[in-house]
A and B are shown apart, each in its own frame.
Chain A
Amino acid sequence: GEEVAQTPKHLVRGEGQKAKLYCAPIKGHSYVFWYQQVLKNEFKFLISFQNENVFDETGMPKERFSAKCLPNSPCSLEIQATKLEDSAVYFCASSQSGTGPATNEKLFFGSGTQLSVL
């Protein structure tokens, strides 16, 4: 597709429940990024993929967060045992080349999934 598709748009979970978010990157894009935006301000980097391989996961709270990008499937971000502080908008973005001097470094963002943990 020509846009990054994120589902669902809104997700409500009780504290301690599992949350799973999905992202279909633009067709042909090799790189996928997940960001967490809290209070409509700061974007916190979570993880990046090159195809199905994790490239950088330094932003992931590893105890409860996991992510996958498998061939022929949407990418996913899963939060086990959600906490109140996980309430945020989670953005997925994709790019053709990641970052590189001679190619398109532009990030294409999805419209985000708003996760509310009650």
Chain B
Amino acid sequence: AQTVTQSQPEMSVQEAETVTLSCTYDTSENNYYLFWYKQPPSRQMILVIRQEAYKQQNATENRFSVNFQKAAKSFSLKISDSQLGDTAMYFCAFTTSGTYKYIFGTGTRLKVLA
């Protein structure tokens, strides 16, 4: 079975500091996609960053970057220069080509402190 595990239920970080959220997954597939979604209190799910498994280069979107370790099946999210607006639940998600099913982790609640 394919699973996504987020082992940190809650984290906090000081404004302007850097924080890393962990995610591990389990699959026997070779062609898959990984995502980080942000869910602020408004409930809206917002895509933060995406990584294709066949790409060795780690994805980066402004202050957000990932550390993708395929052999270890690890996909952590690094947020640099944390801002108050980054306070939200963060979900790691996984899908394989053609399954039309995205599997989510249980989320990490991140609080950015002023």
Contacts and interface: CB of A to CB of B under 8 A. Distances in A.
Interface of A: 31, 33, 35, 40-43, 45, 48, 50, 55-56, 58, 89, 91, 93, 98-101, 105-107, 109, 111-112
Contacts of A50: 100
Given A58-B101, A89-B43, 20 more contacts: A40-B89, A42-B107, A43-B91, A45-B101, A48-B100, A55-B100, A56-B100, A93-B45, A99-B95, A99-B96, A99-B97, A99-B99, A100-B98, A101-B54, A106-B47, A107-B35, A107-B47, A107-B102, A109-B37, A111-B42
B104 interface: yes
Contacts of A111: 42-44
B59 interface: no
A89 B45 CA distance: 12
Given A45-B103, A111-B42, A101 B47 contact: no
Interface centre among B101, B106, B107 (most CB of A within 10 A): B101
B33 interface: yes
Interface in B68-104: 89, 91, 93, 95-104
A109 B44 contact: yes
B31 interface: yes
Contact of B99 (A56, A91, A107): A56
Contacts of A58: 101
B50 A106 contact: yes
